Amino acid sequence: MSKTTTIEPFTAGFVEALSPELILFAGMLLLILVPNLGKGTFRIPGTQTRIPWLLGGTRFKFSSDPRLPAWIASITLGSAFLNVLYVFSQGLDRVLIVSESGKELLLINGFSRIFELIFFGALALAAFSSMNRLQVKGIGSKIPEHELYNNRRQADFYILMVTCALGMSVVALAQDLFVLFIGLELASFSTYVLVAFLKESKVGVESGMKYFIVGSVASGVGLYGLSMLYLWAGSLQFSVLAATFAVSGTTALPLIGIGFVLVGFGFKVSAAPFHFAAPDAYAGAMSPVAGVLATASKAMGMIGLVRMLLIVAAPESSDGSAVWLVCLGAMAAVTMTWGNLAALGSDNPKRMLAYSSVAHAGYMLAALTAVGAWNWDAAVAGDASAAAVAVMTALLFHLVVLVAFKLGAFLVLSILESEGGASRLSSLGGLAKREPLLAVAMFIFMISLAGVPPMAGFLSKLLVIMGIVRVAVGDMGAEISDGGIYALGDMHWVWWLALLMVINSAISVFYYLRVVVVMFFNEPEEGREGPLPRGWQVRVAILACVLTTVLVGVAGDSLIRLCEMAAQSLNYNW
Amino acid sequence: MAGTEVTTTVHSEWMQYAPLIILLPMMAFAVILFLGRVFNGHPFWKKNLKEGGLIALPVMGASLILSLLLISEFLKGYSGVEDIFEKIAWVNTGIWNGGSTTESVSFGFGIYVDHVTVMLLFVASFLCLLINVFSIGYMNTDPINDNRNHRFYAEFVLFCSGMLGMVLADSFLWLFIFWEIMGLCSYLLIGFYYERPSAASAAKKAFLTTRIGDVFLMIGLVMLWDLFGSLDYAVVFDTHNIEMVAESSAGTLQWALGLMFIGAVGKSAQFPLHVWLPDAMEGPTPVSALIHAATMVNAGLYLVARMFPFFGAEALHGDLDDLAFIIAAVGGITAVMAAAIAFVQMDLKKVLAYSTMSQLAYIFTGLGCAMYLANTLDWHHDSDAHYIVIVAFGASLFHLFNHAMAKGMLFMASGSVIHEVHHAHHHLHHDDDHHDDDFDAQSMENMGGLASKMPITATAMLIGSASIMGLPLIGGFWSKEGIIANAWRVAQDDPRFLFPAMCVLLGAAMTGFYMSRMWLKTFAGKPNNEVAAHVGPTNIWIKTPLFILTFVTLSSVLLAGMGFTHWAADTEYSFLSEKNIIDGILYEMGHAFANSDSFFFILTYVAIFLGAIVGPGVAMALYGGKLADGEHAKPWMRPVIRLSAWVNKRFHFDNTAFRESSLATALENRLYIDEYYDKAMLNIVAGFSTKVAEADTEVIDGTIKAIESGSQSLSTFVRSLTTGSARDYILMVAVGTLIISLLIWGVA
C-alpha cells in the first residue's frame, strides 16, 4: 500500500504526474504546426512590408515530407510509452488529482499505468507501421512515394491517432463517471473517423458509418444509464457511487442504470449482442486501425467494466452484485461461443480476427465475472481475495499481451493489404514461400492466439482459467474444511465459464491453424507470386510483436508481477 | 504424499552459466538449420564453414569449456557437499491441494550437479567436441553428403544439447524430456540417408524399439510421482521422504524403479530390446560413434546410476535386492549373447555395435552388483562395507568412462578405415559406372594389412581394442577387473548372482576373441583384395581426435591412481585428497595384481588369462599373419603382428566345422530374435492395428466429421445474423438492452 498524494490541477507535481498525457498534447500541437511550416509571409496592413511568419505558403522541404507526421506521431506515442515505462520502473506513487471543490478527478496508480502502456504501445506500433501505407487511391494500389497523400491529410490521420491515445488514457485515469465518459467519447470519435478515413474506398466509409451509428446508440444508452445513476446518488464519483451502492444498491434505479452503462461499454469490448458492427468495422478499416480497435479500444471498454464492477462488488453489497454478475456471466458465455462459431467459417482473415477478438472479449468477461464472484474486501476474504487478485492480474496480463499478437497479426495482414487486399483467406496463400519470416511471424501470432505454449497467449489463457477455477474452488472452501462431501455442484457457477473457455479454445485452434495451413501449404494467388511490398517500419513493428510474444511467453514473470501490482492498486482498501 | 522439502541450494560461480551448456547447442541447431537452408550450396558456406561444421565446433568447444569450469569447481570446492543445483522458474503457480487453500508450485528447469553428473558431463561434452572434429573430416569429404551436411550438423548439435541437458537436469521429468530429444535426434540421424530403404527402416526400428522402453519409463515415472509427489531429485532423494515412502510402499517403489529400468534397457540396447542397435549402424559413422557408442547409449546407464540413492537408502535396506539382481542378470545375458553374435560379424561397424552392447551389459552387471551391495550391506555405519559399496559403484562408472572413450575412438577409427577404403575403391574404379552396387566398404573381407597404410588409425584401434578387452594396465582393465571381482563378491553372498558372475567372466574371454579378430582381420595379414592394397592415409580432421583419445585411453591408469572409483561414486572422497598420484597407482597395482584375499587373487589372474591370453590367442591362431612384403608397420605394432603371425603358424586350426554349424548360422541370424519380433508384430500387433484403424475411420473420424460439418453450418447461421445493415445491429443492441433490463427487473 503506497501513500496517496493529493494535488490540485496545475500545482506542484501535476506535470510530473501527467507527463505522458502532456507529451501527447505537445505532440498534437506539433502535428498541427510542423507540417504547415512554410515560407508564408504576413503583410503589415497599410504597408508593403511583408514579414515572414513561417506558416503557410510554400512548404519547406522537410515539412513537405509525407512521412513527417507519421514520424512525429510515432515519436510522440513512443516517448509517452517510454515515459510511463520509466515511471513504472522507478516505483510507483499514487497521485490523486482533485478539483478545487475536492472532487476526485483523476487517479494515477498502477492500474492506470498499465493501461497507458497498452494504449500507447498499441498506437505507437500502429502509427509507426502505417508510415508507408497511407495512399491516394485507397486500399489496394502500389504507388511510389511521391504520390503518397499530401501531408495535410497525413497529419489528420496521425492527429486522430494521438487524440485517440489521449482519450483512452483519460478513461484509464478517470475517477468520475463523467470524466470517464468524456475520455471515452474523445477516443471513440477518433476511432470512428479512423475507420472511415479512406473515404475513397466504399467499404471504409460504409463500415465507418455503421460503426458510428451503432456506437452512438450504445453510447446514448450508456449516457442514459449515467444520468440514472446521477439521479440516484447525486454524484458520479466512483467512491461515492460505491459507498451509496453498498447502502442502497438493491433498488431498481441504480441497477438498471448500471445495466445501461454495461451496454455502452459492452459495445466497446464488442461483447455479444453489441458486437455486430465490429466485424464490419474491422474488415473495412485499414489493418493497423483494426488492430488498434481490437486491442487498445477493447482495453478501454474493459476499464469501464472494471469500474462498474468495483462499484457493485464493493463490500457488503452481495445481493446487487449477484444479479449484475449473472448478466456479465451470461454475456461472457454467449460472447465467447458466438465469436468462435462465427470465426469458424469466416473466409476473410480480417473478419476472422474480428470474431476471434469477440471470442477473446468473452474470455475477458469471464475473468471479470470471476473477479466479481469474490468479495474484494481484503479483511473479510483472506486467501480468496488473493484469488480475485489473481484473476484480475490474469485479465490485465491478457490485455497487455494481446497487443503483441493480435495487433501483430493485423500488421502482417496490413502488408498484404497494401499489395491489393487481404479480404480472402487465399490471399495469404504461399506466404511461406514469398516471405518466410513473415509467415513464421504470423504462425507465432496464430498459435499464440490459440494459446499454444510457450507463447504469451498460452500463459495468459492459463492464468485466466486457473484464476477462475481458483475462485470457484475458494467458494467451496467452507464445505471442504468442514470435512463434508463436496461435488462439482458445490462450486461457484463461474467454474462453468472456465470449462466453456477450454472448449472454446479447442474450437478456436481450428480456424487459427487454417491460416497456417494456407500460408505454408497453399500456392500464392495468381498475380501475387512476386515479393511483397517493401517498408521496414512495419516489419520492425512486427518483429517487436514477435519478440514480445515469445519472450513474455518464456519469461513472463516480471510482467505478471507488474500486472499483479496493478490489480492490487485497484482495491480501495489497498 | 511426501512433503516437498527442498534441500539447501549451493550457488557457485560457474553454476549460473550452466544452462548455457545446454542452450548454446540448442541455439546452434536453429542457426545452422536456418543458415543451411538459406546458403545451401554457397561456396563460402561449403568451403569456409564446412556447411555448418565450423559453427557447431566453437559451440561445442564453449560447452566443453563451461563444463570443465563447472567440473573443476565441483571437484575443488564442493565435493564435500551433497550436490549443487539451481532452479530457473518458468511459471510459478498454485495447485489445489484438496483443501481450501492452494499450494504454490513452480514449474521450471533446474541444474543439478553431483558426482555422477560430473563424470558423465565430462564424457559427453568432451566426446561431442571430438566427434564434431571428426565429422568435419568424415562428412564433408564425401560427395554424397554435399548440400545436406547442414542437416547433419543441426541434428548433431541438437543431440548434444539433449545429452548435456539430460545429464544436467534436476528432475526425472526433465531427464525424460531430454531423453526423448535424444531419441528424436537418433531417429533423424540414423535415417540421415533416408533415400536408402535400409536406413529408413533402421531409423524406424530404433525409434519404435526404444519407444517401447520409454513407455515403461513413463509409467515408472508416474508411479514415482505418485509416491513422492514430485520428480525433482531434491525431493525424491531426500532421506526423510524416502523413509516416509519406505514405510508404506517399498514394494511399489521397486516396481516403479523396475519399470524405469526397462526404459534404460531400451535406450542402452540390452536384451530383449537390443535389436535396434546393430541396424542403427546404417547412420553415418560419426553418428554411430557419438550416439550409439559414446553418449546416448550411456543414458540408460546414467538413469540406473541415478537410482543409486534409493538402493543405498537405509530405510529401504534389503527391499530392492530383487531389482538389483534383475539388472545384473539382464547385463549378464546381454554380455554373453552380444559377444557371441560379434564372433561371426563381417561388417566392421557391426562388430563394434555388438561389442558396445556387450560392454554396456558389463556396466549394467556392475551397477546391479553395486546396488545389491548398497542395498544389503550396512554401509552407512560400517566403514569397510562403505568402501566396498563405493568401489563397486565406482568401478561401474569408471567402466562407463573407459568404454565411452575407447568405443568412441574405435568407431571413429573404423570410420576412418571405411572412409579410406571407400576412397580407394572409388579411385581404382572411377571409370566403372556400377562400382558402388556390389562393393561394401564396411566389410572386413575388403580390408586386411592396413597397419602400415594407416598408422594412426591402426594404433588407435589397437589401443581401443586393448582397452575394451581389458589387457592389463590399459584403459578398461582397471574397471573391468573391478566389475568381475564385485560380481563374484556378490555371488558369494547370494547364489543367484553366480549367473551374472559366470557371464562376465565368460564374456571377458569372448571379448578378447572378437576384438582381436576384428583388429587382425583389418590391419594384419595381407590385403584381401586390390582395393585394400591401395588405401592411403587419412586427413587431419580425422586423425586429431584419434590421437587425443589414444592418450586419454592410455592415461586411464592415472585416473585409477587418482581414485576415480572413489570420487566418482561418492562425495565423501574428494578429488586427489587421499593420496598422491604415485601412491595411488602403486595402491591400485597392488590391489589388482597382489590382492591379499586369495579368492580375488586367483580370480584376477583367471580373468586376465581368459581375456588377454585365451581370447586373443584363438583369434591370432585363426586370423593372424604378416603384412605384405615391403610393408612396415610402426615399431609399436610390429611385435603384435609378428606374434600373431607366429601363433597363426604354430597353432592354426581349421574352424570350418564351427563356421558351418547351426550355431554359427543362428549367430549370423542374430539368434533369430529379430525374426521372432517381426512375426509377433505382424500377427498380433498388425492384426490388432487393422481392427483399430477400421474403428478409427468409422467411429472416431465419423464423429469428428459430423462435429466439423455441424459446427460449420452453425457458423454459417451465426454469421448470417451479421446482415451488414446498421438497422439490424441497432435492433440487436436494443434486444440486448432489453434482456439486461428484464434480468435486473426480475430481481430488483
Chain B residues with a Cβ under 8 Å from any Cβ in chain A: 89-94, 96, 98-102, 711-712, 714-716, 718-719, 721-722, 724, 726, 728-730, 732-733, 735-737, 740-741, 743-745, 747-748
Q: Are B461 and B543 in contact (CB under 8 A)?
A: no
- Least CB-CB distance to B96: which of A326, A327, A473? A473
ipTM here: 0.85
Within 8 A of B90 by CB-CB distance, chain A residues are 554-555
Q: What's the Cα-to-Cα distance from A173 to each of A307, A321, A567, rounded to whole Å?
A: 11, 24, 14
Mean pLDDT of A186-205: 86
CB contact under 8 A, B724 and A280: yes
A446: exposed, middle or buried (C-beta count within 10 Å: 0-12, 13-18, 19+)?
buried
pTM of the predicted model as reported, rounded to 2 decimal places: 0.66
pLDDT of residue A574 exceeding 60 = no
Task: Give the residue from chain A lying closest to B747, CA to CA.
Answer: A323
d(CA B611, CA A44): 115
Q: What are phi and psi of A117, to 5 degrees?
A: -60, -45
Distance from CA of B247 to the nearest CA of A (A): 27
Task: Give the residue from chain A lying closest to B99, CA to CA.
Answer: A480
Per-residue model confidence (pLDDT) at position A2: 55
d(CA B699, CA B417): 56
The 3 state secondary structure assigned to A466-492 is: HHHHHHHHHHCHHHHHCCCCCCHHHCC
Measuring CA to CA, which residue among B343, B348, B575, B568 is closest to residue B448?
Answer: B348
Distance from CA of B396 to the nearest CA of A (A): 39
Q: Which residue has the higher pLDDT, A29 or B638?
A: A29
CB contact under 8 A, A470 and B732: no
Q: What is the band of A479 on the pLDDT scale with cuts at 50, 70, 90?
A: low
Within 8 A of A345 by CB-CB distance, chain B residues are 712, 715-716, 719
Distance from CA of A46 to the nearest CA of B (A): 57
- Least CB-CB distance to A345: which of B715, B740, B748? B715
Mean pLDDT of A115-125: 94
| Average pLDDT along chain B | 82
Measuring CA to CA, which residue among A145, A511, A144 is closest to residue A358?
Answer: A511
Within 8 A of A210 by CB-CB distance, chain B residues are 726, 729
Within 8 A of A346 by CB-CB distance, chain B residues are 715, 719
Q: Number of CB pairs < 8 Å for A and B? A: 121
Distance from CA of A15 to the nearest CA of B (A): 38
Q: Which residue has the higher pLDDT, B195 or B579?
A: B195
State what percent of residues in chain A have pLDDT above 90: 40
CB contact under 8 A, A459 and B91: yes
Per-residue model confidence (pLDDT) at position A397: 93
d(CA A205, CA A490): 52
Within 8 A of B744 by CB-CB distance, chain A residues are 252, 255-256, 259, 323-324, 327
Distance from CA of B216 to the nearest CA of A (A): 26
Chain B interface mutation, best of A253, A276, A328, highest count of B Cβ atoms under 10 Å: A276
Q: Are B403 and B553 in contact (CB under 8 A)?
A: no
> What does DSSP assign to residue A92?
-
**Could you read off the pLDDT of B355-386 as tens digits, one per residue?**
999 999 999 999 999 999 888 888 888 888 88
Distance from CA of A214 to the nearest CA of B (A): 6
| Average pLDDT along chain A | 84
Chain A interface mutation, best of B88, B722, B742, highest count of A Cβ atoms under 10 Å: B722
Within 8 A of A260 by CB-CB distance, chain B residues are 737, 740-741
**Exposure on the CB side of residue B319, measured as CA atoms within 13 A:** 23
pLDDT of residue B546 exceeding 90 = no
Q: Find where cell 548454446 sits.
A: B24
Distance from CA of A402 to the nearest CA of B (A): 19
d(CA A292, CA A6): 33
**Could you read off the pLDDT of B568-578 as tens digits, one per residue?**
776 666 555 55
> What does DSSP assign to residue B104?
E
Please work out, in degrees rounded to the nearest 5, the angle formed at the alpha carbon of residue B294 by the alpha carbons of B293 and B297.
Answer: 65
pLDDT of residue B412 exceeding 80 = yes
Within 8 A of B718 by CB-CB distance, chain A residues are 338, 341-342
Long-range pairs, B197-200, Cβ under 8 A, ≥24: B198/B279, B198/B282, B199/B282, B199/B283
Task: Give the residue from chain B lying closest to A474, CA to CA.
Answer: B100
CB contact under 8 A, B729 and A276: yes
**Could you read off the pLDDT of A134-184 as tens digits, one per residue?**
654 544 445 555 556 666 678 889 999 999 999 999 999 998 888 999 999
Task: Give the residue from chain B lying closest to A256, CA to CA.
Answer: B741
Distance from CA of B33 to the nearest CA of A (A): 14
Task: Give the residue from chain B lying closest to A458, CA to CA.
Answer: B91
Task: Give the residue from chain A lying closest to B717, CA to CA.
Answer: A342
Torsion angle (degrees, nearest 10) of CA A215, A216, A218, A224: 160
pLDDT of residue A285 exceeding 60 = yes
What are the DSSP calls for B679-735, one per residue? Answer: HHIIIIIIHHHHHHHHHIIIIIHHHHHHHHHHHHHHHHHHHHT--S-HHHHHHHHHH
Where is average pLDDT lowest: A91-100, A513-522, B125-134? A91-100
